[in-house]
Amino acid sequence: MSKLEINPGVSPYPMPVVLVGADVHKKPNFMAVAWFNKMNGRPPVWAVSIGKKQYTLIGIRENRTFSINFPSTKHMQVTDYCGIYSGRDVDKSSLFNVFYGKVGTAPMINEATLTIELEVVDIMESLEVCDIVLGEVKAAYTEEEYQSNGILDPRKLDPFVLTQPDNHYWSIGEIVGNAFKDGKNYST
Amino acid sequence: MSKLEINPGVSPYPMPVVLVGADVHKKPNFMAVAWFNKMNGRPPVWAVSIGKKQYTLIGIRENRTFSINFPSTKHMQVTDYCGIYSGRDVDKSSLFNVFYGKVGTAPMINEATLTIELEVVDIMESLEVCDIVLGEVKAAYTEEEYQSNGILDPRKLDPFVLTQPDNHYWSIGEIVGNAFKDGKNYST
């Protein structure tokens, strides 16, 4: 075996990049996040990891709501901007056209291909650097142009992912398989 | 605004696909998982969502350890197989060459490009369908061939991601940006 032991802090898998939105002191703020994923199917509950000192967390605690907004590759630069600069130092409220949905206090980005509004289910505070915010999805919004045959089309959504430690953003490539199907033909 | 409200159960962003390994009743078992991500930097803690009835969860509770193994696109079919069939019904212990590391009871896949062994920090049982397993990374292993200039190279790792509801696996595409850098040149 030619295995090398490496830094256990790696996260070199493709992590989807989103903008988490929250009203902080009644003003919309957005931060770039790559540490999140779905955690439960029905009801849909997502987990988002946010640094304990992040400005966004103040708003999530104030309103118990937040949004997750999916940028496409053409929004890469503004998304990265929202990851570098804190809402404490720069006003991000006018970077995007903002709209609100049924939960009322979760600012969503009109320019995003897909936006999700969530209500906080729980905030786990036991980790050292980050809090884990669990949110139940209350509604999801997209536009006709991002769908094909009535469902969301990843090629049209054109998302990007982050890999580390190389710190690159990547587009998605080609279809390499059919999930829950191709494995049926695997011969052991 | 031309927003459409859609099914809140969507998860159409690129989710990295991994094989979670655990010894269940002293035999290695692996399941495909796409609902996971890093949740804390130092120490590195990852969250993995696993259905409460999954066979793998028995082993994770038995040993308080598990592994996360990263397949490349050439392992797509066997990975999908591990997502379709339960360890209750099929023996997955001989699908791969298995090795163990410092935690001793977390079976890792020799053929994987990157393998991580973790110790359970907490298991959150409050969601309806899935439990959230929080694990601290104790070690990570790769091979020389997956690195460039001393760091992991996403192109060489050649991972794949899942999108839903279209249920496709995708390779990664092209570099579209530099994280924590390109945003500095964004003019608001």
Q: B58-97 pLDDT, tens per residue?
A: 999 999 999 999 999 999 999 999 999 999 999 999 999 9
What does the pLDDT look like over B126-143, one tens digit per residue? 999 999 999 999 999 999
Determine whether the interchain pair B70/A39 forms a contact, defined as Cβ–Cβ distance below 8 Å.
no
Q: Which of B47, B140, B163 sits opposite A5 (nearest CB)?
A: B140
Determine whether the interchain pair A13/B18 forms a contact, defined as Cβ–Cβ distance below 8 Å.
yes
Among A5, A168, A156, residue whose Cα is nearest residue A76: A168
**Best residue of A1, A4, A33, A38 to probe chain B, by most B CBs closer than 10 Å:** A38
Tell me which chain A residue has its CA closest to the CA of residue B91: A188
Q: CA-CA distance, B72 to B70, in Å (whole number)?
A: 7
Among A103, A20, A4, residue whose Cα is nearest residue A56: A20
Determine whether the interchain pair A152/B6 forms a contact, defined as Cβ–Cβ distance below 8 Å.
yes
Instruction: Report the DSSP pairing between strands A168-178 and B27-33.
Output: unpaired
Residue A1: the pLDDT is: 58
H or E stretch at A81: helix A76-84
User: What does the CA dihedral B72, B78, B81, B86 come to, rounded to 10 degrees?
Assistant: -100
CA gyration radius for chain B? 18
Q: Which of B36, B49, B122 sits opposite A40 (nearest CB)?
A: B49
Residues of B in contact with A12 (CB under 8 A): 114, 152, 154, 157
Tell me which chain B residue has its CA closest to the CA of residue A170: B175
* Ramachandran angles phi, psi of A144, nearest 5°: -50, -40
What does the pLDDT look like over A34-56, one tens digit per residue? 999 999 999 999 999 999 999 99
Q: What residues does A23 pair with on adjacent strands?
A: A28
Tell me which chain B residue has its CA closest to the CA of residue A9: B44
CA B46 from chain centre, in angstroms, equals: 10
Question: CA angle, corner B132, sides to A172 and B28, nearest 5?
Answer: 85
Coil, helix or strand at residue A156: helix
Determine whether the interchain pair B179/A171 forms a contact, defined as Cβ–Cβ distance below 8 Å.
no
Determine whether the interchain pair B182/A124 forms a contact, defined as Cβ–Cβ distance below 8 Å.
no
Q: CA-CA distance, B35 to B32, in Å (whole number)?
A: 10
For the beta carbon of residue B148, count every other beta carbon within 10 angstroms: 12
**Residue A123: pLDDT above 80?**
yes
Beta strands in B61-113, from DSSP E residues, in sequence order: 65-70, 98-99, 108-109
Among B42, B167, B178, residue whose Cα is nearest residue A17: B178
Helix %, strand %, coil % of chain B (to 5): 15, 45, 35
- At residue A119 the predicted structure's pLDDT band, cuts being 50, 70 and 90, is very high
Q: Kindly state the average pLDDT of the residues A158-182.
A: 97
H or E stretch at B120: strand B114-124
Residue A162: the pLDDT is: 97
**Residue A129: pLDDT above 90?**
yes
In angstroms, the separation between the Cα of residue A21 and the nearest Cα of chain B is: 17
- At residue A150 the predicted structure's pLDDT band, cuts being 50, 70 and 90, is very high
Mean of the per-residue pLDDT values of chain A: 96
Q: CA-CA distance, B61 to B44, in Å (whole number)?
A: 20
Residues of B in contact with A87 (CB under 8 A): none
Q: CA-CA distance, A74 to B12, in Å (whole number)?
A: 18
User: What does the CA dihedral A24, A28, A29, A33 come to, rounded to 10 degrees?
Assistant: 110
In angstroms, the separation between the Cα of residue B26 and the nearest Cα of chain A is: 21
How would you label B10-20 residue by residue, b for 16+ Cβ within 10 Å and e otherwise?
bbbbbbbbbbb
**Residue B47: pLDDT above 80?**
yes
Model-level pTM? Answer: 0.96
Q: CA-CA distance, B124 to B108, in Å (whole number)?
A: 24
Q: Which of A7, A13, A165 sits opposite B16 (nearest CB)?
A: A13
Residue A109: the pLDDT is: 98
Residues of A in contact with B41 (CB under 8 A): 9, 129-130
H or E stretch at A66: strand A65-70
Question: Comparing B147 with A188, which gets the higher pLDDT?
Answer: B147
Tell me which chain A residue has its CA closest to the CA of residue B171: A173
What does the pLDDT look like over B153-187, one tens digit per residue? 999 999 999 999 999 999 999 999 999 999 999 98
What letter represents residue B34's amino acid?
A: A
Mean of the per-residue pLDDT values of chain B: 96
Residue A10: the pLDDT is: 86
Indicate the length of chain B as a whole number. Answer: 188
- At residue B19 the predicted structure's pLDDT band, cuts being 50, 70 and 90, is very high
**Residue B1: pLDDT above 70?**
no
Q: Which of B110, B160, B174 sits opposite A170 (nearest CB)?
A: B174
Q: Which of B8, B110, B159 sits opposite A14 (nearest CB)?
A: B159
**Residue B43: pLDDT above 80?**
yes
Residue B11: the pLDDT is: 84
Provide the 8-state DSSP code for A128.
S
Q: CA-CA distance, A143 to B82, in Å (whole number)?
A: 35
Residues of B in contact with A182 (CB under 8 A): 76-77, 80, 169
